[in-house]
């Protein structure tokens, strides 16, 4: 039975780089509102914005200073409410980026927590006995001779949800039932209440598997999120929860609707990001399946999705991302034809696609940019959206934009690709439409692998209809014979003789059986 997730396609927007309406060089909420018609015309069913809370911006908004306000540079809470209203008029959901694991060191809670005199925020963070205790952490930056544990960067002290198995020798390891840990959990409910009240349809939850400490099997963490799921289902039925957990077989049973493979997940990295340079963490080095050399292994993905499906099918979904703010762009080191083959894969396998802004036109990763707001080597994937060939590619009228746009000749723009029926943008638009029109390509429809080498061939089926998808991202020609072909829906670089396919280098085919 069709549900919202069946044909959903989510658009990830890095707000400071999307569209600037007031000329200050930074994208803003009014800019997203002004581009909603473009988003709707593409067929996206939801938008997810990276954090828009008030922030110190040492980590691009993931270091929150106020969970109940929009950062001034993006606009106001009323602007967010307006964005939700205008999105809903176009049948687009709005997902808020929730950062429950930590705050900025500039958050008022942390300042109060750093005082010697006990107050309601004393245990809002996790403080060890002494500033000189071993392990990562930061001093109070205040009066206490203690060290506060971190969640990620040095400026992001970890909020205290307790320990699953507290060590009595470490008095700072409070149980999850401690009143101060329960108070933090209730605060998360209030934060969700607030943004749902302004129109949010759901939340992408940052680092959601790491709230409760000392929980290696995530038993207490699962219980935490199941409580949140019950709370949302009771008070706001239909609210979507998207996990940054990277393990759908764990996050979906914990109450999330979606979880995405990313560059830290072998199933995803083996597709696009095994080579040095294509993965900012450099944890995976080898051959991507979607590379011209034709030395990759599609089984890393197949084995993972099939194992996860046994656990999550009928309960939740894998989100297949074109990329995100933490990794080099899909287009990096790839031609437009190569990008198209990758897009066909991402939109035709099981799950819910998430398109990172600009990937729909093949925006490139820009090497060598100075780090911006904690971006480090990720900064090159956060450059402004390229709307046209005017100043700053139409992103901003400012002489000092948030980041420079791609100044190389031939850099893609929305305006040019809208006029080109052979563009990446038009292919993405067709693939989105395909998911809406053909139930076999719904997120949950049946998936059966026919060939797991080069080419990669599989079938999707639903309601008695079957479709074949074949793709050859390598530079070499490969042959394959399909069981039947009644209609070719779209193709690239494929010769068809009856059911015999000659798949030239960098080719794909979608056909009805």
pLDDT digit string, tens, across residues 201-218: 999 999 999 999 999 999
38 within a domain of the structure (yes/no) = yes
Q: Are residues 384 and 417 in the same domain?
A: yes
2 within a domain of the structure (yes/no) = no
Report the chain's C-alpha Rg in angstroms. Answer: 23
Q: CA-based angle 261:266:271, to the nearest 5?
A: 80
For 421, half-sphere exposure in the C-beta direction (CA atoms, 13 angstrom radius) is 1
Q: Are residues 312 and 198 in the same domain?
A: yes
165 within a domain of the structure (yes/no) = no
pLDDT digit string, tens, across residues 58-77: 999 999 999 999 999 999 99
Write down the mean pLDDT value for the chain. Answer: 95
pLDDT on residue 48? 98
Q: Are residues 226 and 349 in the same domain?
A: yes
Q: Are residues 342 and 477 in the same domain?
A: no
If phi > 0 it is left, if psi is from -120 to 50 it is alpha, else beta; for residue 487 that is beta
Boundaries of domain holding 136 = 102-160
Q: Are residues 353 and 408 in the same domain?
A: yes
By DSSP bridging, strand 500-512 and strand 487-497 are: antiparallel
Last residue of one domain, picked from the residues 439, 465, 490:
439
pLDDT on residue 215? 96
Last residue of one domain, picked from the residues 414, 439, 464:
439
167 within a domain of the structure (yes/no) = no
Give the pTM. Answer: 0.96
Q: Are residues 185 and 134 in the same domain?
A: no
Range in 106-120, 147-161, 275-289 the model is least confident about: 275-289
Last residue of one domain, picked from the residues 439, 457, 487:
439
Q: Are residues 303 and 154 in the same domain?
A: no
3-class SS of residue 31? helix
174 within a domain of the structure (yes/no) = no
Q: Are residues 153 and 199 in the same domain?
A: no
Closest CA to 223 of 233, 234, 209, 237: 209
pLDDT digit string, tens, across residues 103-132: 999 999 999 999 999 999 999 999 988 877
pLDDT on residue 281? 56
CATH of the domain at 145: 3.90.400.10
- The rounded percent of the chain whose pLDDT value lies above 70 is 98
Q: Are residues 411 and 382 in the same domain?
A: yes
When divided into structural domains, the chain yields a total of 3
d(CA 233, CA 229): 6
CB 114 within 8 A of CB 147: no
pLDDT on residue 132? 77
Please provide the DSSP assignment of 44-80 as one string.
--EEEESP-EEE--SSTTSSEEEEEEE-TTT--HHHH
pLDDT on residue 117? 94
More confident residue, 145 or 457: 457
Q: CA of 111: how far to CAs of 51, 103, 178, in Å?
A: 22, 11, 22
Q: Which residues pair with 492 in a beta bridge?
A: 508
3-class SS of residue 420? coil
Q: Which residues pair with 471 in a beta bridge?
A: 456, 508
CATH of the domain at 335: 3.20.20.80
DSSP type of residue 96: E
d(CA 184, CA 202): 20
Q: Are residues 95 and 113 in the same domain?
A: no
pLDDT on residue 284? 54
404 within a domain of the structure (yes/no) = yes
Average pLDDT over residues 482-497: 98
Closest CA to 358 of 66, 99, 8, 13: 13
pLDDT digit string, tens, across residues 6-65: 999 999 999 999 999 999 999 999 999 999 999 999 999 999 999 999 999 999 999 999
501 within a domain of the structure (yes/no) = yes
Q: Are residues 246 and 385 in the same domain?
A: yes
pLDDT on residue 266? 85
475 within a domain of the structure (yes/no) = yes
Q: Are residues 308 and 233 in the same domain?
A: yes
CATH of the domain at 502: 2.60.40.1180
Specify the DSSP element, H or E, that contains 389.
none
């Amino acid at each position: 039975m069709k549900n919202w997730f069946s044909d959903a396609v989510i658009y990830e927007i890095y707000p400071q780089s999307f569209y600037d309406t007031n000329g200050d060089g930074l994208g803003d909420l009014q800019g997203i509102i002004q581009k909603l018609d473009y988003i709707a015309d593409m067929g996206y069913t939801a938008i997810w914005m990276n954090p828009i809370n008030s922030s110190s911006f040492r980590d691009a908004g993931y270091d929150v200073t106020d969970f109940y306000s929009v950062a001034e540079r993006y606009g106001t809470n009323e602007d967010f409410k307006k964005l939700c209203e205008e999105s809903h008029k176009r049948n687009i959901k709005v997902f808020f980026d929730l950062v429950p694991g930590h705050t900025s060191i500039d958050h008022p809670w942390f300042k109060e927590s750093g005082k010697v005199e006990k107050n309601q925020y004393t245990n809002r963070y996790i403080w060890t006995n002494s500033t000189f205790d071993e392990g990562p952490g930061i001093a109070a930056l205040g009066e206490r001779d203690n060290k506060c544990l971190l969640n990620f960067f040095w400026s992001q002290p970890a909020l205290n949800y307790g320990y699953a198995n507290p060590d009595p020798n470490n008095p700072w390891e409070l149980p999850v039932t401690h009143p101060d840990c329960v108070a933090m959990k209730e605060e998360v409910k209030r934060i969700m209440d607030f943004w749902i009240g302004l129109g949010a349809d759901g939340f992408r939850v940052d680092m959601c598997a790491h709230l409760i400490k000392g929980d290696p099997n995530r038993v207490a963490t699962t219980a935490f999120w199941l409580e949140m799921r019950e709370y949302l289902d009771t008070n706001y039925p239909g609210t979507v929860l998207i996990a940054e957990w990277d393990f759908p077989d764990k996050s979906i049973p914990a109450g999330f609707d979606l979880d995405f493979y990313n560059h830290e997940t072998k199933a995803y990295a083996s597709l696009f990001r095994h080579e040095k340079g294509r993965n900012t963490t450099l944890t995976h080095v080898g051959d991507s399946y979607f590379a011209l050399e034709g030395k990759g292994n599609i089984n890393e993905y197949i084995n993972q999705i099939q194992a996860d499906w046994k656990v999550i099918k009928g309960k939740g979904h894998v989100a297949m991302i074109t990329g995100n703010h933490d990794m080099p762009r899909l287009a990096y080191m790839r031609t437009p034809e190569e990008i198209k083959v990758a897009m066909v894969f991402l939109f035709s396998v099981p799950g819910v696609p998430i398109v990172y802004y600009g990937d729909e036109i093949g925006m490139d990763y820009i090497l060598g940019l100075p780090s911006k707001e904690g971006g480090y080597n990720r900064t090159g994937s956060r450059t402004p959206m390229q709307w046209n060939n005017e100043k700053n590619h139409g992103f901003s009228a400012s002489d000092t934009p948030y980041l420079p746009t791609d100044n190389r000749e031939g850099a893609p723009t929305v305006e040019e690709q809208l006029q080109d029926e052979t563009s990446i943008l038009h292919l993405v638009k067709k693939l989105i439409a395909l998911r809406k029109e053909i139930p076999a390509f719904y997120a949950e429809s049946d998936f059966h692998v026919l060939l797991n080498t080069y080419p990669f061939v599989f079938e999707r089926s639903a309601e008695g209809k079957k479709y074949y998808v074949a793709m050859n991202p390598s530079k070499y020609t490969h042959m394959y014979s399909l069981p039947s072909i009644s209609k070719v829906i779209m193709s690239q670089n494929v010769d068809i003789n009856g059911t015999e396919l000659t798949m030239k280098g960098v080719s794909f085919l979608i056909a009805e059986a």
